[in-house]
Structure 1
């Protein structure tokens, strides 16, 4: 009896540790994403010309050693340290993922334990490391930079999902109860959010944030000259490197305008989602949060254009994107966890005929 009690206490302690680590992972990943964007905004993505070290060292070397290692890439101390800080915190995040996997290994065969999410988290964090290396070796190629951002958000969502699944497991729910499936409106909202995040990364990686001056018009026109084919040409060459971009003005305007159009479509669908499910008290706080964060994001985006993309405001815009992703993910979670009542079923049928 004592052995059983001891094992139960150890299992409870381990579960508490896993819950804490997964929650820390959510906040830490958010911080790592912001550090990555800061690195991007201060043009420090190539602060170290090699990977994983910096001029062959694990810390930023002096100018003489840097010159001996890479004579064609002069050392800029500030940018090199910014890049290395990004690598240090990203490596720490990888260690956190490994710690979660090790701590949960003993529970992996128990029904309801989210072992698959833990393994997926490890796979994605390894892919993120590869994209981090490609960001340097492919000299800030926009495709890689954008995928690196989306990968960071994927890590964030997996940490959140793991934490929520662990909370469900700790409450004694083995996951046998069927969950509600996502409706087409939920799917459309998620698809448009993913598209808008990718467009945001594409704007940043192609240095198109201020390609349009003024709002709501762009460079004094409602529909300015744009080169869509070049702006969204996914196989363009890198050249010596992609620092400050290589696209001409009309291509960058097309990218910027694409992001604005995406924001409008996303806003309309998020508003429709909130109106559609506002009657569900369990969802109301999260849907209200989604709409509120979207409005804040819209304001930050406009301010970034009007104020010529100041660093602090660009970082706030990224933080808003992270908050929007988290809030919509929590709305999805609560939608799936809720038990359908007669009112919900009736309203679903009514909307199906609209």
Structure 2
């Protein structure tokens, strides 16, 4: 019996499967990138490397290395890996475009463009000494890139539509936009240290209060998604899981926000977790919206 008969044949993965796996890996790396970026800000390490793109003129500054320098250096390393992965995603999408959905190369190109803008903003945060508007745009672009990846991944997932929940996609998109805008307000508060300045000096209270008021539409729109999902009969199991995840995340986010306010940003892990849970909630809502859209369009195409 020959060796070829003994070994089971393994079919090569299709381009769509390979692209989908790459997208999920980049999305995970991007989530970690934002978490490390939040840690860098909370630890006052944003200018630990005074130059850009190198750190103290070196790729790895051994002599200057400490926890703050390491955080900033690792943040840049992760950003570079995400950037190169985005180039690979766009390149492969165009190379295999005849075997992929026609929209995919354009979506991948948009993702690549957003990460290039993100890289430029990352450099400007250093050269412009953490200017608050640039820092806010830096996070906003990162979240946009993250959402684009999750939308692509959700659109490429194997999914058997049930045709239920006609309005869930619009509700999910509305909630996602509300959470995104609330995240930008949170970035404005963080980049200007508005909570500290308002509590101790009565400065920038309008900025902080705008974030507090923004909790209302963001929470109500998310609750609408959750309630309508729970009340929709025969809802796809994946959509039900995402709705339940959104319920847990929005509860955690509110608790973390209250704790962060009560402890006046003195507990770093609370501040970092607050931003990470917000990004996770945004991602869940984006995936929910895309899959809910597929739930209706696929069932209409294939009755």
Normalising by the smaller structure, the TM-score range is: 0.7 to 0.9
- After superposition, the C-alpha distances for 1:299-330 in whole angstroms (9 at most, x for unaligned) are 00111122232111111111211110111112
Structure 1 residue 51 displacement after superposition = 0.9
Structure 1 residue 274 displacement after superposition = 2.9
Cα distance in 2 between the residues matched to 1:101 and 1:37: 27
Cα distance in 1 between the residues matched to 2:258 and 2:249: 14
2:118 matched residue in structure 1: 128
Question: What SS class does the counterpart of residue 48 from structure 1 fall into?
Answer: coil
| Kept in 2: contact 1:60–1:77 (CA 8 A) | no
Cα distance in 1 between the residues matched to 2:124 and 2:210: 26
5+ residue gaps, structure 1: 1-8, 64-75, 174-179, 214-218, 220-248, 341-354
2:281 matched residue in structure 1: 324
Query: Higher RCO, 1 or 2 (CA under 8 Å, sep at least 6)?
Result: 2
Establish whether residue 101 from structure 1 lines up as the match of residue 87 from structure 2. no
1:349 matched residue in structure 2: none
| Kept in 1: contact 2:42–2:268 (CA 8 A) | yes
> Structure 1 stretch 50-59 or stretch 85-94: which is displaced more?
50-59
1:305 matched residue in structure 2: 261
Question: What SS class does the counterpart of residue 51 from structure 1 fall into?
Answer: coil
Structure 1 residue 45 displacement after superposition = 0.7
1:15 matched residue in structure 2: 16
Q: TM-score, normalised by structure 1?
A: 0.71
Q: TM-score, normalised by structure 2?
A: 0.82
- After superposition, the C-alpha distances for 1:183-229 in whole angstroms (9 at most, x for unaligned) are 7655542332222011110111011244566xxxxx9xxxxxxxxxx
Cα distance in 2 between the residues matched to 1:172 and 1:300: 36
Structure 1 residue 147 displacement after superposition = 0.8
Structure 1 residue 298 displacement after superposition = 0.4
Distance 1:312 1:328, change over 3 A: same
Equivalenced residues, count: 280
Structure 1 residue 182 displacement after superposition = 7.7
Higher helix share: 2
Distance 1:93 1:253, change over 3 A: same
Report the structure number with the largest CA radius of gyration.
1
Question: What SS class does the counterpart of residue 53 from structure 1 fall into?
Answer: coil
1:197 matched residue in structure 2: 183
- After superposition, the C-alpha distances for 1:35-89 in whole angstroms (9 at most, x for unaligned) are 11111111111112211012222222646xxxxxxxxxxxx84422321111111
Cα distance in 2 between the residues matched to 1:97 and 1:18: 11
1:48 matched residue in structure 2: 49
RMSD: 2.9
1:147 matched residue in structure 2: 137
Structure 1 residue 277 displacement after superposition = 4.4
Distance 1:106 1:316, change over 3 A: same
2:224 matched residue in structure 1: 272
Cα distance in 1 between the residues matched to 2:69 and 2:169: 47
Structure 1 residue 335 displacement after superposition = 1.8
Written as runs of structure 1 = structure 2, the 5 A alignment for 1:1-354 is 12-60=13-61, 62=63, 77-110=66-99, 112-113=101-102, 114-167=104-157, 185-186=171-172, 188-211=174-197, 249-280=201-232, 281-282=235-236, 283-309=239-265, 310-339=267-296
Cα distance in 2 between the residues matched to 1:303 and 1:189: 23
Distance 1:335 1:141, change over 3 A: same
| Kept in 1: contact 2:169–2:289 (CA 8 A) | no
